[in-house]
A and B are shown apart, each in its own frame.
Chain A
Amino acid sequence: MDPRPGIGALLALLVFVLASIYIGILANRAVSKGSFLKGFFLGNRGLGAWTLALTATVQSGGTFMGFPSLAYSHGWVLALWIAGYMVVPITGFGVLAKRMAQISRKTGAITVPDLFRSRFDSPRLGLIASLLILFYMSFMMVAQFKAGAIVMKLSWPGSGTLSLSEDFTSFKVTDEHIQDVIQDNESSDIAVDLAPLAGNDYSSREDLEAAIEAALTDVGDETKRAKIKSDLITASSPLDYAFLFGLAIFTVTVVGYTMLGGFLAAVWTDLFQSIMMFLGVVFLLILSLNAAGGLEAANREAVERFGVEIATGPGFDPTGAGRPYLPISLAFSMFFIWVFAGMGSPASVVRVMASENTDVIRRSIYLLSLYNACIYIPLIMICMCGRALLPALPAGQSDEIIPLMALHMTKDLPVSSFLAGLILAAPFGAVMATVSSYLVVIASGLVRDVYQRFINPQATQQEMKRLSYFVMMLVGAIAVIANLEPPPYLQAIVVFSGSSAAATFCIPSLMVAFWRRATKQGAMASMLCGTAAMLILYVLGFNEVGGDPGFGPAKGLRPYYLGNLDPIIWGLSASLIAGVVVSLMTPPPPDHVVSPLFDAQSQLPADAASPS
């Protein structure tokens, strides 16, 4: 029988929750010194090298939960998929960081829209940047809340095979569920087999599984049977109380400690989870390699079982249809996604703005470089050991490869449940930290960039404090309501909002930092064209324009791959061309705006040191 999470997993999760609240309290003490806005939203510009390095890039709950699942499903080609991370530390901290930190100090900017507003002397540009950030962040928030609630639920003692659809109440199969499953699997021949299940109640997951197995004896293909079983169980799950309970605890914790400590609480919990994730991955890697008899043995075993595709491009197709997962054109695009999402995401830029000095930025480059190497390639190695040790997880269960490996690898060790729990809790920490930093960005966007700028410029510190708390609670409540019907395609939502934000803000940020001739009209055109290109390609793809591209995910939300390239290539290109052309077509920006940011200070009169 599979090992199951015991009380230790819940204990480990509690340790995470309590540690986060403690961090929130510590952060609260630190931010209460000085101005509320700069303390709460920017941590008084005091980030050190470790905090900046391990928190300011694009790691999120989605990455830690989705990535191992893909590595298990498609094999070594995921190393090529994630390869852009080799340059993320130098592109993330070596290009924009120093200038953004400098310009934000010179202009007193606390948020990313503040930067745009001051550099281009355009409140309208600041407002548009704010609204676009809020738009992308809302998608990310809903997806992250779902991920957090799932991990919380999975850690519940006795949560069976850790399946997403596990439940405390009965399963009710209807005609509609059966039709959905038939449609999803494009298998009209199973309609007759499944028909007798319609209208029945099953008191447990095991009962329903047995009934489906019995009904599908004619289906010879094991993978197909497992997929249909998993889909029907998911479809017939009633309102999921364990999920909702997890969601409630998750929301109260994360909103609570973020309200306490603001930006610092977000980055400190992020640092804490990054260290836990590092320890978890290293620990699990050693156990897995040991159990599999070494990396080469694991690889040979996997190739023997699944064919050479599991170790080569374009990747293994677990459905058996031979669909290429990562053609080389898509691998090329992925290199851009990670690099530009890390460089241009507003949550990353704001952390760079908060760094204490350039020494911190320099050291972050090599700290993050080492850290990334210790996370991503080892995760693939663990998943390949997983392919050798737990070869036949059904398609719907590949999300659980890391929790399952943790449970299997630690089952003979003392305090195994707690050890497994710590590994299980690491992605939970990642999700909490991500949500927390987005809460800060959203609250700062609404309070600073919309309310203080446009509604009530005379607002007192106290008013803004109360409004920030209110916004955080409101965002938490909205994310909970959105998750009462959990959105599907978590990973697709994360990729959409992450890459769209990159295509929207990367080029305008480079214009802010390096191009004196860039104008406000150019920056606005750059933002809007980047956004438009991404939205158009995603909307076309969602509406199945151009049909199945023949590679990538077999179903689910996917964009339209113009020229077989990911939309981010077109988004960045549109943003660059529009930014340059429109800037050159419009009058140069006024000297009093750009000179303090681009000319050596010693040559300027003292009162010109900041844009007026």
Chain B
Amino acid sequence: MSQEVPRLPVGERQDDPVLVSSRREASIVLIVFLISLVWTVLASNYLGYDRKKEDLEYVFGFPDWIFWAIIVPWGSCIVFSFIFGAFFVRDEDLGQELEEQSDFL
């Protein structure tokens, strides 16, 4: 089944371009994930818990903490998703399909 083919020495090889761009994009997604997580959970913790009825205010009809801790980051994520998807993610050639899978069963 397996056959050895000649390859460049490890030090002279370059990473697959899809791997390179995916790694960069994944790092940015990880940062956005962490910012959203921290913003949402911390803001909810400070603004949304142990509230008194008379202090609760409404922003565009939402309870104030929902607006600042959920709606604003959610809206920011939508804007970011558009910028990320439309301009940042690189289009790549995904390569040739391996024609028939059963040949390496």
Contact = CB atoms under 8 A, between A and B. Distances in A.
Interface of A: 35, 37, 45, 76-77, 79-80, 83, 86-87, 89-91, 93-96, 98-99, 101-102, 105-110, 114, 118, 121, 294-296, 299-300, 303, 307-308, 311-314, 328, 331-332, 335, 339, 357-359, 361-366, 368-370, 373, 377, 452-453, 457, 513-514, 590-592, 595, 597-601, 603-605, 607-612
Contact of A603 (B14, B51, B69): B14
Contacts of A89: 77, 81
Contacts of A363: 85
A365 B98 contact: no
A601 B95 contact: yes
Given A300-B58, A303-B53, A362-B85, 9 more contacts: A37-B101, A80-B44, A99-B19, A118-B104, A295-B60, A312-B48, A369-B82, A514-B19, A599-B13
A87 B73 CA distance: 10
22 contacts: A80-B40, A86-B73, A87-B29, A87-B32, A87-B77, A98-B25, A108-B101, A114-B101, A118-B104, A312-B50, A335-B36, A362-B85, A365-B84, A369-B77, A373-B75, A599-B7, A599-B15, A599-B16, A600-B15, A604-B5, A604-B7, A612-B2
Contacts of B99: 108
Interface in B52-93: 52-53, 56, 58, 60-63, 65-66, 69-71, 73-75, 77-78, 80-82, 84-86, 89-92
Contacts of B94: 98, 101-102, 105, 357-358
A94 B84 contact: yes
Contacts of A77: 48
B102 A308 contact: no
Interface residues of B, number: 76
A contacts with B: majority SS = helix
A599 B14 CA distance: 6
B22 A98 contact: yes
A271 B18 CA distance: 28
Contacts of B73: 83, 86
Given A98-B21, A299-B61, A514 B26 contact: yes
A295 B61 contact: yes
A79 B51 CA distance: 16
Please indicate which of the listed interface residues A99, A604, A607, A611 has the most CB atoms of chain B within 10 Å of its own CB: A99
Contacts of B63: 76, 299, 311-312
Contacts of A303: 53, 56
Given A299-B58, A358-B89, A79 B19 contact: no
Contacts of A362: 85-86, 89, 91
A598 B15 contact: yes
A313 B49 contact: yes
A313 B51 CA distance: 8
A204 B49 CA distance: 45
Contact of B4 (A35, A312, A592): A592
Please report whether the interface of chain B is mostly helix, strand, loop or mixed according to DSSP.
helix
Contact of B98 (A76, A106, A368, A605): A106
Nearest to B25: A94
Contacts of A369: 77-78, 81-82, 85
B41 A91 contact: no
B52 to A, nearest CB: 7
B41 A335 contact: yes
Nearest to B18: A102
Nearest to B46: A328
Contacts of B7: 591, 595, 599, 604-605, 608
Contacts of B70: 79-80, 83, 86, 377
A98 B1 CA distance: 28
B29 A90 contact: yes
Which among B13, B69, B98, B99 has the highest number of chain A CB atoms within 10 Å?
Answer: B98
A358 B26 CA distance: 15
Given A101-B94, A296-B58, A331 B44 contact: yes
A312 B62 CA distance: 11
Contacts of A294: 61
A308 B52 contact: yes
Nearest to B61: A295
Contact of A513 (B22, B45, B53, B82): B22
Contacts of B37: 332, 335
Contacts of B101: 37, 108-110, 114
Contact of A598 (B19, B29, B92): B19
B30 to A, nearest CB: 8
Contacts of B58: 296, 299-300
Nearest to B52: A308
Query: Which of B23, B73, B90, B102 lies at the interface centre, i.e. has the most chain A CB atoms within 10 A of its CB?
Result: B102
B53 to A, nearest CB: 4
A90 B97 contact: no
A180 B66 CA distance: 40
A592 B2 contact: yes
A76 B10 CA distance: 55
A563 to B, nearest CB: 15
A312 B49 contact: yes
Contacts of A332: 37, 41
Nearest to B81: A369
A312 B65 contact: yes
B64 to A, nearest CB: 10
Nearest to A334: B41
A182 B99 CA distance: 64
Contacts of A109: 101
B3 to A, nearest CB: 5
Nearest to A297: B61
Nearest to B97: A105
B95 A106 contact: yes
Contact of B13 (A94, A96, A102, A600): A600
Given A331-B41, A358-B91, A99 B18 contact: yes
Given A86-B73, A87-B33, A296-B61, A600 B82 contact: no
A513 to B, nearest CB: 7
A87 B69 CA distance: 14
A186 B84 CA distance: 53
| Max chain A C-beta neighbours (<10 A), residue from B14, B26, B32 | B26
Given A90-B29, A457-B105, A99 B22 contact: yes
Nearest to B40: A83
